[in-house]
Structure 1
Amino acid sequence: MTTNYNVTINQQIKQQISHQSVADLDVIPAGKNTVHLLYNNQSYHVELIDKNYNQKTYTLKVQGTIYTVQISNALDQLIEQMGLSTASSKKVNQIKAPMPGLILDISVKAGDTVKENDTLLILEAMKMENSITSPRDGVIKSVAVKKGAAVDKNQLLIEFE
């Protein structure tokens, strides 16, 4: 496997960056989600606006300009070459309770369209409120529980179309 990263910026500019050039960057933390970067004798203020670890995309603000950056490492490249990429085939059709608990709130109903990471419901377990979020974009087929219901681990909560 190679030690290069394939980087796509704003879904247009494609670059290949070596692991060594990343290691050689002069980066100084400047606050939460903010760094000061020195590159080619120029100083840059970089802020992390958003991140999606599953898709390996990051939204950065560099000197006031927003960039969306997607990074793939050697393993990602090998999986893509083999035609085994799972990113496009992620198809979760059911949400089940990750633990026993009590349904505090339900934010969706059958027929609603949701986006990935939208909150679907709140499950109270061990005196903590847990937001159950959508794993993908889709349409809700059915909601199998009601507000105030006690649920067991692995009990069906929501189905997607």
Structure 2
Amino acid sequence: MDVNYRLLVNNTTSFEVTESESTKLNAVKVAESNFHVLKDSKPYKAEIVSADFISKKYTVKINNNSYEVVISNALDELIKSMGIERGKTKVVNAIKAPMPGLILEISVEVGQSVKENDPLLILEAMKMENSFLSPRDGVIKSIAVEKGNAVDKGQLLVEFE
């Protein structure tokens, strides 16, 4: 059975491609993310600039022109038509200690804006340092601990606005 894919380019142009059509594309990898492609006897220089595999979004440069491409299959289209967005999770508003330990370092202040994956604090537990990163973009509402504090499992550490 041939799988169908929908490619949305720059949020304006949509293409339908089958898996068998994509395997007929003559592409040779020339570097880590660079390819030489022949399509209808025409050569193209292709580079994958960025790839987000979870949301299936890619930035591709073809002959030095950049394109944003979103790839979806029948299941993705069904999920979207049902109003369910893939990869969306509930918003985290508080970070709690997953285990008892000692606060070694606090890298943020109340009122500070943070981006996803910014370091928040370091908790030492069982002789290991556990670095806590921000789960989302946001502003620090409160910090319930201080450097040197011993914390219990489930204790509030950082709260977001």
TM-score of the superposed pair, with normalisation by structure 1 = 0.70
Question: In terms of Rg, which structure is larger?
Answer: 2
Unaligned runs of 5+ in 1: none
Residue type at the aligned position of 1:27: A
Q: Deviations over 1:55-95 (max 9, x none)?
A: 21111111111111111122211111222224566533344
* Residues 140 and 39 (structure 1), Cα distance of their counterparts in 2 relative to 1, 3 Å cut: farther
Q: Deviations over 1:115-157 (max 9, x none)?
A: 4x44234758899988755444433333455567787887655
Alignment partners' CA distance in 2, 1:35 and 1:100: 50
Match of 2:11 in 1: 11
Identity %: 46
Could you tell me whether the CA contact under 8 Å between 1:7 and 1:72 is conserved in 2?
A: yes
Alignment partners' CA distance in 2, 1:33 and 1:130: 33
Give the SS at the match of 1:83.
coil
Residue type at the aligned position of 1:46: A
* Residues 2 and 122 (structure 1), Cα distance of their counterparts in 2 relative to 1, 3 Å cut: farther
* Residues 40 and 92 (structure 1), Cα distance of their counterparts in 2 relative to 1, 3 Å cut: farther
Alignment partners' CA distance in 2, 1:44 and 1:159: 50
Alignment partners' CA distance in 2, 1:155 and 1:26: 57
- Matched residue count: 160
Unaligned runs of 5+ in 2: none
Residue type at the aligned position of 1:81: S
Tell me how large the CA RMSD over aligned residues is.
Answer: 3.6
Match of 1:139 in 2: 139
Match of 2:64 in 1: 64
